[in-house]
A and B are shown apart, each in its own frame.
Chain A
Amino acid sequence: MDKVAIVGCAQTKYEAEKIDQTISELVFEVVKKLHNELGITNDDVGCVITGSNDFNDGRTIANMAIQDAVGSVRKSESRVSGDGAFAFVYGAMRILSESYDTVMVVSHCKCSEVDQYLVNNTIFDPYYQRHLGLDQISSAGLMANMYMNKYGVTEDQAARVVVKNRKNALNNPYAHLQKEVTLKDILNSKMMAYPLKTLDFPPFSDGAVAMLLAKEDVAKRMTDTPIWLKGYGSCTDAYYLGNRNMTDLIGLELAAKEAYRMAGISNPIENLDVCEVSENFSIHELMIYEALGLCEKGEGGKFIESGETQMNGSIPVNPSGGVLSSNPAMANGLIRVAEIVLQLQGKADRRQIPNAKTGLAYGMNGICSQGNCVLIFGGD
């Protein structure tokens, strides 16, 4: 495979309600910051790919709302309606097809501008599921109940995911929630969708993320620390909840296998140094461990207890604090990529995993790991 690199990335601080910034201003903040850091102008950007969601932005062709901010007027531009990780893939393909030397990939979301439960309800088909009032919270409750029952995973084990990620977020200046929580806080928080409680769920956040992709020779000219795409896999699970296997993330498992094969990863724990995953509720991260092959099926609860996914464990997961700490919904996947880039560049400051050479980013569309995008990256 030809090579495509990420040469730099920029993020906003994630917050509950960025009332003083429009979506366009949020995006401009990260794009301009990235231009300045790389010492480039908009003329150095060959093509722009963005990732967003029309329903969240409240207009169709929502990418037009940010065209000034991404510098795409009269420029090659396209958009993925979905998680930002898929926008990354589209951007990488523009380089690998030798169409462009550089591609700017951007993703944004202002959850504060619309009722997220209503937006999530429209994920469901209008005949069999939508009228039931289902959303991301109730479907997570169903999944957690079935998974925990099948494998005997406990609420205490689930809560440990939240403790870990919220603690990690203290080291991430971009993180939305920067307050440590205890097991007791989580277990005593209000029941929201049995067996999941309020603190098993993420906040809703506003924010944006941008990165510049480049082909090999250009990347090497632009930075001393290009981060290379090594593997990619995607897989979609069944749409109707009753057609899913709700106890195992089959779609993610297949996507990971594909990405591992491309990247030559035979033993994920040994071959990977760090993972950033889109965990949309506590139990979800345990299921992700299993689907990524970090532990055996049903062992997610024991795996979090072992401490292996903590900052000093054998495979740290979500040093950034993950989605449970910052949740600008559509941007989550591209934030995972940006955080892996920082880790592999050695620029993750207080959340740096020492000597991280290979990392995994996982982005997700829809509810309960419906659409899955697994990306493997490596430094030089």
Chain B
Amino acid sequence: MTDDIEKKVYRGRIKVPYKHTGGAYVERFITEIGKSNKILGVKCPKCNKVHVPPKMICHECFEKMDEWVEVQNQGIVKGFTVVTHSTPIMPLEPPFAYGIIKLDGADTDFVHIIKESAPEKLRIGMKVKAVFKENPRKRILDIEYFEAI
């Protein structure tokens, strides 16, 4: 930033730590990933769809879901992008990919990272599997990323 601009701006940085209640669904999902490398979903009693990641309410049926189901650690890529821009909150150094992934056994799509930097090595329909973090930190990134099978 030039000196001219620096003279005119007044800098601020909002640093407000939050502790968001995860709730039973987030808690069990993230805990199982870290503890046993298992990915869980919940099944809607009305439409029978298995939602991954789990949440309390089926948005199609407005029903409470409480039947837990284990799904596979692998699935099919339904969409992907490779990002090259860098931001302070990216978990990997770009370029890397994001994917919309339908895990085997799930009926909804899961959003996560695919560790691949070349778009030509990715395609819709390819199979990927989860790679788990060695030292889980109780967050979605305890699945570190997905990689091609």
Residues of A within 8 A of B (CB): 17, 19-20, 58, 115, 117-118, 121, 126-135, 137-138, 140-146, 149, 190-196, 238, 240-243, 246
With contact pairs A118-B87, A128-B26, A195-B119 given, residues A242 and B9 touching in the complex (Cβ less than 8 Å): no
B98: nearest chain-A partner, CB-CB: A138
A259 to B73, CA, bound (A): 44
0 or 1 for each of B70-83: is its CB under 8 Å from A? (1 = yes): 00000000111111
Residue of B nearest to A245 (CB): B109
- Tell me whether B12 and A58 are in contact (CB under 8 A): yes
| B139 at interface by CB-CB < 8 Å | yes
Query: Which has the most chain B C-beta neighbours within 10 Å: A138, A143, A195, A240?
Result: A138
Nearest Cβ in chain B — how far from A202, in angstroms? 14
B44 CB contacts on chain A under 8 angstroms: none
Is B18 positioned at the interface, with any CB of A under 8 Å from its CB?
A: yes
- In the complex, chain B residues 81-109 whose Cβ is within 8 Å of any chain A Cβ: 81-85, 87-91, 98-100, 108-109
A103 CA to B75 CA, complexed, in Å? 53
A297–B143 Cα distance when bound, in Å, is 36
Pairwise interchain contact B141-A117, C-beta atoms closer than 8 A: no
Minimum distance in angstroms from A191 CB to a CB of chain B: 6
Q: Which one of B81, B110, B141 lies within 8 Å of A144 (CB-CB)? A: B81
Which chain B residues have a beta carbon within 8 Å of chain A's beta carbons? 5, 8-9, 12, 14, 18, 20, 22, 26, 30, 52-53, 55, 59, 78-85, 87-91, 98-100, 108-113, 119, 124, 139-141
The CA of A96 and the CA of B81, in the complex, are separated in Å by: 45
**What residues of A have a CB within 8 angstroms of the CB of B108 in the complex?**
242-243
CB <8 Å contact, B14 and A134: no
- B38 CB to closest chain A CB, in angstroms? 16
Report which residue of B12, B53, B83 has the largest number of chain A beta carbons within 10 angstroms of its beta carbon. B83
Give the contacting residue for A194; candidates B53, B82, B109; CB below 8 A: B82
Closest 8 CB pairs of A and B: A141-B81, A242-B109, A146-B79, A133-B90, A117-B87, A194-B82, A194-B119, A127-B26
Interface core residue of A129, A238, A242 (most chain B CB under 10 Å): A242
Instruction: Specify which chain A residues have a CB less than 8 angstroms from the CB of B30 in the assembled complex.
Output: 127
How far in angstroms is the closest Cβ of chain B from A370? 13
Known: A126-B18, A242-B108. A142 touches B59 (CB 8 A): no
On whether the beta carbons of A141 and B90 are closer than 8 Å, the reply is no
| Set of chain B residues within 8 Å of A141, measured between Cβ atoms | 81-83, 98
Asked if B100 and A242 sit within 8 Å, CB to CB, the answer is: yes
User: Smallest Cβ distance from A213 to chain B, in angstroms?
Assistant: 34
Q: Other CB < 8 Å A-B pairs besides A118-B89, A149-B124, 16 of them?
A: A17-B5, A58-B12, A115-B87, A118-B87, A126-B20, A129-B111, A138-B81, A145-B124, A190-B84, A191-B84, A192-B85, A193-B84, A194-B81, A194-B82, A194-B83, A238-B59
A196 CA to B84 CA in the complex, in Å?
11
In contact, A117 and B85 (Cβ under 8 angstroms): yes
Q: With both chains docked as a complex, state the minimum distance between the C-beta of A173 and any C-beta of chain B, in angstroms.
A: 25
Pick the residue among B9, B14, B100 that contacts A246 (CB under 8 A): B100
Complex Cα distance, B18 from A118, in Å, reads 16
Decide if A133 touches B87 in the complex (CB within 8 Å): yes
User: B77 to nearest A CB, angstroms?
Assistant: 10
For A117, the closest partner residue in chain B by CB is: B87
A20 to B18, CA, bound (A): 34
Cα separation A195 to B80 with both chains bound (whole Å): 9
Pick the most buried of B53, B111, B112: most chain A CB atoms within 10 A of its CB: B111
